[in-house]
């Protein structure tokens, strides 16, 4: 491959890095092994939502359909859309390594190829095109920290990997992830090749962003370098999600950080009876360094915790309890994420790496209808998505209003398996509302009796 030290790619990198905060180290720019820009496939999607307006849906293709491939997802795009979703996030679509493998899709053998298990590049493009036609964008899962042991880089660029004192490539230290090899982010050429590979999918498959796996592994300055470069693709608006805990991810330019802490707190509220008031503190701490609409992605399950912890039904008090938890997750603060199958109340764990049952989409249509009502109301309500939050809850009940330009919504959710006689705060006493789920009028007095694991979503 030719190398051109003065290509526009690297000029863009230099210009992007010129605005770098002083706390982030700049790595010298040298050309990647591949330095040509791929041809654009299709027309860049013009309706990528703003950060605050996203509803994200995670697809695990191995469990999603009987076909376990792209075509199986395409067949259900209308159902995904009907939930109120506008962002589809696909778990890794790349070939999986075979050496030391546990068949995890996060063990990437080739960053710029499609896993034949799921179909072809043409099938992926068809999925993206079909999602765009339904006004949904598509986000790929990006695994930057490590590769499979039989990734071509190991042979061609062993120096791109972290090595021990004997020159042996090592797994990510302290993780136990023995199926993958740790990359060395002091290697500038590797970083630039990685960024080029991310750009490849924006152009080649017309995707709309990335969910970046284990972002707390690679150094922050790598992500800043990558995101600055991706933002310079002027033809595309991209959404970029950090699956990470560190709040400094916002400083690197991510649109979203993962709500690990929120999820952990929600579990303890249910399992250990800790105060629901702690969510108010989480609403502040998780947003440290967030600006310009940057958001935390919140969830009651995902591919990791579904297998390790249990389903939402297991963790949050069955059907009613899990819906009470989801209402807070979807409506209070942040951007909601749904893991495939939770909307039908899948009663078994989708064990990861997946080798088990497929999702049965005929289960529990009543649960699906409830998810739809909640998410569609959120999508239709600017106050719910962007409004000023005022919290009124107590140790057992999450209660809040959100208000924006004359629109006001009220959410009250009982996170306990018992009847709560909730004393309404003065601003809510003797007020008139409309139940957002049923359309029925509601008159609040001074007390609100809330049945176990029940909730109210109302509007004015």
Beta bridge partners of 108: 96
CB atoms within 10 A of CB 369: 11
Q: Cis before residue 353, ω within 30 degrees of 0?
A: yes
Question: 430-452 burial, b if ≥16 CB within 10 A, otherwise e?
Answer: eeebeebeeeeebebeeebebee
HEC profile of 426-442: HHHCCEEEEECCCCCEE
For the packed helices 318-331 and 260-272, what is the interaxial angle rounded to 10 degrees? Answer: 140
pLDDT at 118: 97
CB atoms within 10 A of CB 383: 20
Q: What pTM does this model have? A: 0.92
pLDDT at 364: 98
The encoded tokens of residue 223 equal 């992500």
Q: Do the Cβ atoms of 67 and 359 come closer than 8 Å?
A: no
The encoded tokens of residue 74 equal 């395409």
- What are the pLDDT tens digits along the chain (460 aa)? 333 333 333 334 433 443 334 344 334 344 456 668 889 999 999 999 999 999 999 999 999 999 999 999 999 999 999 999 999 999 999 999 999 999 999 999 999 999 999 999 999 999 999 999 999 999 999 999 999 999 999 999 999 999 999 999 999 999 999 999 999 999 999 999 999 999 999 999 999 999 999 999 999 999 999 999 999 999 999 999 999 999 999 999 999 999 999 999 999 999 999 999 999 999 999 999 999 999 999 999 999 999 999 999 999 999 999 999 999 999 999 999 999 999 999 999 998 776 678 999 999 999 999 999 999 999 999 999 999 999 999 999 999 999 999 999 999 999 999 999 999 999 999 999 999 999 999 999 999 999 999 999 999 9
H/E stretch holding 142: strand 137-142
Beta bridge partners of 187: none
Sign of CA dihedral 403, 404, 409, 415: negative
List the 407-414 sheet strands across, edge first.
388-391, 397-404, 407-414, 455-459, 431-435, 441-444
Cα-trace Rg, the chain: 23
377/38 Cα distance (integer angstroms): 40
pLDDT at 32: 57
- DSSP letter assigned to residue 317: T
Superfamily of 397-459 according to CATH: Golgi alpha-mannosidase II (2.60.40.1180)
295/291 Cα distance (integer angstroms): 9
Closest to 208 measured CA to CA, from 147, 293, 142, 287: 142
pLDDT at 207: 98
> So where are the chain's domains?
40-385, 397-459
- DSSP letter assigned to residue 344: G
Q: Do the Cβ atoms of 169 and 239 come closer than 8 Å?
A: no
Q: 40-385 belongs to which CATH class? A: alpha beta
54/406 Cα distance (integer angstroms): 22
228/9 Cα distance (integer angstroms): 11
pLDDT at 25: 39
- DSSP letter assigned to residue 252: T
- DSSP letter assigned to residue 186: T
């Amino acid at each position: 491959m030719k190398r051109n030290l003065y290509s526009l790619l690297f000029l863009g990198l230099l210009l992007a890095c010129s605005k770098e905060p002083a706390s982030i180290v700049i790595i010298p720019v040298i050309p990647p092994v591949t330095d040509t820009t791929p041809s654009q496939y299709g027309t860049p999607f013009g309706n990528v939502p703003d950060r605050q307006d996203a509803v994200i849906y995670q697809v695990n293709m191995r469990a999603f359909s009987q076909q376990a491939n792209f075509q199986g997802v395409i067949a259900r795009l209308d159902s995904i859309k009907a939930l109120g979703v506008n962002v589809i996030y696909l778990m890794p679509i790349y070939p999986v390594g075979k050496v030391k493998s546990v068949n995890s899709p996060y063990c990437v053998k080739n960053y710029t190829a499609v896993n034949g298990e799921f179909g072809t590049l043409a099938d992926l493009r068809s999925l993206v095109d079909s999602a765009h036609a339904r006004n949904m964008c598509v986000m790929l899962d990006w695994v930057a920290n490590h590769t499979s042991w039989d990734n071509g880089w190991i042979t061609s660029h062993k120096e791109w990997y972290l090595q021990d004192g004997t020159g042996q490539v090592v797994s990510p230290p302290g993780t136990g992830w023995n199926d993958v090899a740790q990359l060395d982010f002091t290697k500038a050429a590797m970083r630039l090749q990685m960024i080029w590979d991310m750009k490849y999918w924006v152009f080649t498959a017309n995707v709309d962003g990335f969910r970046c796996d284990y972002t707390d592994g690679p150094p922050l300055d790598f992500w800043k370098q990558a995101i600055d470069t991706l933002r310079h693709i002027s033809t595309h608006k991209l959404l970029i999600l950090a699956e990470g805990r560190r709040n400094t991810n916002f400083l690197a330019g991510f649109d979203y950080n993962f709500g690990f802490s929120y999820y952990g707190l929600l579990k303890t509220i249910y399992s250990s009876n800790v105060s629901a008031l702690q969510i108010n503190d989480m609403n502040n701490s998780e947003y440290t360094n967030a600006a310009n609409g940057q958001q935390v992605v919140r969830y009651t399950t995902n591919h990791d915790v579904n297998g390790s912890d249990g389903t939402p039904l297991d963790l949050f008090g069955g059907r009613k309890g899990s819906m009470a938890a989801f209402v807070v997750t979807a409506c209070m603060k942040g951007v909601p994420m749904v893991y495939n199958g939770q909307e039908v109340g899948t009663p078994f764990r989708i064990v990861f790496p997946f080798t088990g049952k497929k999702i049965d989409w005929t289960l529990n249509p009543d649960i699906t209808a409830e998810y739809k009502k909640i998410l569609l109301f959120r999508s239709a309500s600017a106050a719910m998505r962007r409004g000023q939050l005022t919290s009124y809850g107590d140790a057992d009940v999450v209660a809040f209003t959100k208000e924006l330009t004359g629109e006001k919504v009220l959410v009250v959710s009982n996170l306990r398996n018992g009847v709560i006689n909730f004393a309404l705060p003065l601003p809510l006493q003797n007020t008139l509302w409309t139940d957002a789920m049923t359309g029925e009028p509601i008159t609040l007095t001074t007390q609100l009796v809330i049945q176990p694991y029940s909730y109210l979503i109302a509007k004015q």
